[in-house]
């Protein structure tokens, strides 16, 4: 029974001092990473740690499965040890990773039942059917998610799925956007909400890479029947980073069949990706068609007000507290995505912990965060006005003509091309771009998508784009994350 497992996990947490040390060490560890992918990978594996303890110079970590235990031991142990020492831990002889077989067995052998169509009043009061190959982060909830114009549609869609899983209009739900904008948070929020409101549903959350590895193992061990039975019996499938589906044709075939089986039974599927379905070139067209047949929502880079609200939310329980002027500095200078803001906030917090008397002046913050700020500035020197003027000059039109409401092709193409460059090569949101062009959010989105499709078949248009970017010193590959 899953409620017993969760109770067991809670019972394991009997070392508050170790928990506090580990929480501080995680902040120090993550703030030391310069690469977003490394930070994301670390967070993913840290989420598989279910309890910690510190005894006789040995720091013990209990994980949810053998794979994560071995991976943490081989790739993280030394740096974790250093981070624990920096967090104030007494000298350590070793850090040890072990697996709790009770948790591992239940994760690998779920017990799915009940259709999503079942009414809430009929649901059981325990989590006996809940399953997840990758544990859900408890703080990834709708309440902890900060809404803004850049993510409001995706948020509303995720809430709709959590309230009524399997509904045709929201199935599948495909959420896409750049790195660190909150896709995984929303997906796991669905899982956490369903645990709370629909505990009898079997909900499975995992990354596509984990799904692929399990598929390969099943093929090698001739266990495909068990693999299919497991994933076609779930009520809700939450699949992160669907772009990894492009890695194998046979895997795509298997997923296509699983996808169809779940949809035909009115089971809910939610997927996330760095890009929209049509921008996954190695994906079979029939899969793209299935994805686009549901609800596709984009999360954009947050505007200043949303960034500040996110930073306030992330820092509200920190001791010592982060000064408001510091949060405003971070919101103004770290614009690309939420994970970058979290990294900057972690650096500031570690600095405050080590020296609470330190004045958080602009000069000090600029020096402390110089690497992050420099990375942010790499692709934000372009302004929309500069882009508009450059494109207008290229096509022999005036800026007034570009911003007019005329729809002749000689004006529509440069106008849409300028929108595309503004969208892909600046950190501006769709709303901000729309304001600069005196157009609606939907018009800008349509323009961006039109240019994207045309570039796939019109070499001349692609060449024009390369020439315009070249004038700013950029290449096609230099897009914002």
Last residue of a domain, one of 314, 345, 377: 377
Number of domains forming the structure of the chain = 4
At 80, which CATH number? 3.30.300.180
Residue range 260-271: mean pLDDT, rounded: 92
Average pLDDT over residues 355-379: 80
User: Is residue 65 within 8 Å of 48, Cβ to Cβ?
Assistant: yes
* Domain shared by 221 and 143, yes or no: yes
% of the chain with per-residue pLDDT over 90? 16
Residue 287, domain CATH:
3.40.50.300
The whole-number pLDDT of residue 417 equals 93
Domain boundary residue, one of 232, 267, 299: 299
Q: How confident is the model at residue 117 (pLDDT cuts 50, 70, 90)?
A: very low
Closest CA to 64 of 94, 100, 27: 100
Is pTM, for the whole model, over 0.85?
no
Average pLDDT, stretch 253-266? Answer: 91
Residue 110 has pLDDT above 50, yes or no: no
- Nearest-angstrom CA–CA distance, 313 and 320: 15
How many Cα neighbours within 13 Å face the side chain of 142?
18
β-pair type (58-63, 49-55)? antiparallel
Span 189-204, pLDDT tens digits:
999 999 888 888 888 8
Lowest mean pLDDT of 42-56, 98-112, 442-456, name the range.
98-112
Q: How confident is the model at residue 131 (pLDDT cuts 50, 70, 90)?
A: low
> Residue 435 is part of which domain span?
384-471
Residue range 345-372: average pLDDT?
A: 85
Q: Examine the fold and report which residue of 248, 276, 299 is the final residue of a domain before the chain moves on.
A: 299
User: Residue 279, SS3?
Assistant: helix
pLDDT the model gives residue 128: 44
> What's the pLDDT at 377?
65
């Amino acid at each position: 029974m899953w409620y017993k497992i969760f109770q067991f996990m809670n019972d394991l947490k009997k070392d508050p001092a170790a928990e506090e040390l580990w929480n501080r060490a995680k902040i120090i560890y993550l703030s030391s990473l310069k690469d977003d992918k490394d930070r994301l990978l670390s967070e993913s594996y840290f989420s598989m740690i279910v309890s910690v303890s510190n005894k006789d110079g040995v720091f013990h970590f209990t994980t949810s499965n053998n794979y994560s235990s071995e991976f943490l031991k081989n790739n993280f142990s030394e740096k974790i040890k250093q981070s624990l020492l920096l967090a104030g831990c007494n000298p350590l002889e070793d850090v040890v990773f072990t697996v709790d077989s009770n948790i591992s067995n239940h994760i690998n052998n779920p017990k799915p039942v009940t259709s999503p169509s079942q009414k809430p009043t009929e649901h059981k009061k325990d989590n006996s059917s809940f399953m997840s190959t990758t544990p859900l982060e408890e703080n990834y909830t709708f309440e902890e998610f900060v809404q803004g114009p850049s993510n409001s549609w995706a948020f509303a869609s995720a809430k709709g799925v959590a309230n009524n899983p399997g509904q045709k209009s929201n199935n599948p739900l495909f959420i896409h956007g750049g790195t660190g904008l909150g896709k995984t948070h929303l997906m796991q929020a669905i899982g956490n909400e369903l645990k709370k409101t629909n505990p009898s549903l079997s909900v499975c959350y995992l990354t596509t890479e984990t799904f692929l590895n399990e598929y390969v193992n099943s093929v090698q061990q001739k266990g495909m029947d068990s693999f299919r039975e497991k994933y076609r019996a779930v009520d809700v499938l939450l699949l992160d980073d669907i772009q990894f589906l492009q890695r194998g044709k046979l895997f795509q075939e298997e997923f296509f069949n699983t996808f169809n089986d779940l949809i035909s039974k009115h089971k809910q599927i939610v997927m996330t990706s760095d890009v929209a379905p049509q921008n996954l070139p190695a994906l079979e067209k029939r899969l793209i068609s299935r994805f686009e047949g549901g609800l596709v929502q984009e999360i954009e880079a947050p505007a200043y007000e949303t960034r500040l609200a996110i930073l306030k939310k992330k820092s509200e329980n920190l001791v010592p507290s982060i000064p408001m002027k510091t949060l405003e500095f971070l919101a103004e200078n770290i614009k690309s995505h939420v994970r970058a803001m979290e990294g900057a906030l972690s650096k500031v917090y570690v600095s405050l912990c080590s020296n609470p008397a330190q004045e958080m002046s602009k000069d000090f913050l600029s020096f402390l965060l110089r690497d992050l700020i420099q990375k942010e500035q790499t692709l934000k020197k372009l302004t929309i006005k500069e882009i508009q003027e450059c494109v207008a000059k290229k096509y022999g039109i005036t800026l007034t003509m570009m911003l007019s409401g005329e729809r002749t092709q000689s004006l529509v193409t440069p106008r849409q091309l300028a929108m595309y460059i503004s969208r892909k090569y600046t950190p501006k949101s769709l709303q901000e771009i729309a304001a600069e062009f005196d157009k609606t959010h939907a018009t800008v989105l349509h323009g961006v998508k039109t240019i994207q499709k045309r570039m796939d078949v019109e070499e001349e248009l692609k060449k024009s784009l390369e020439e315009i970017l070249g004038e700013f010193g950029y290449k096609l590959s230099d897009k914002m994350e």
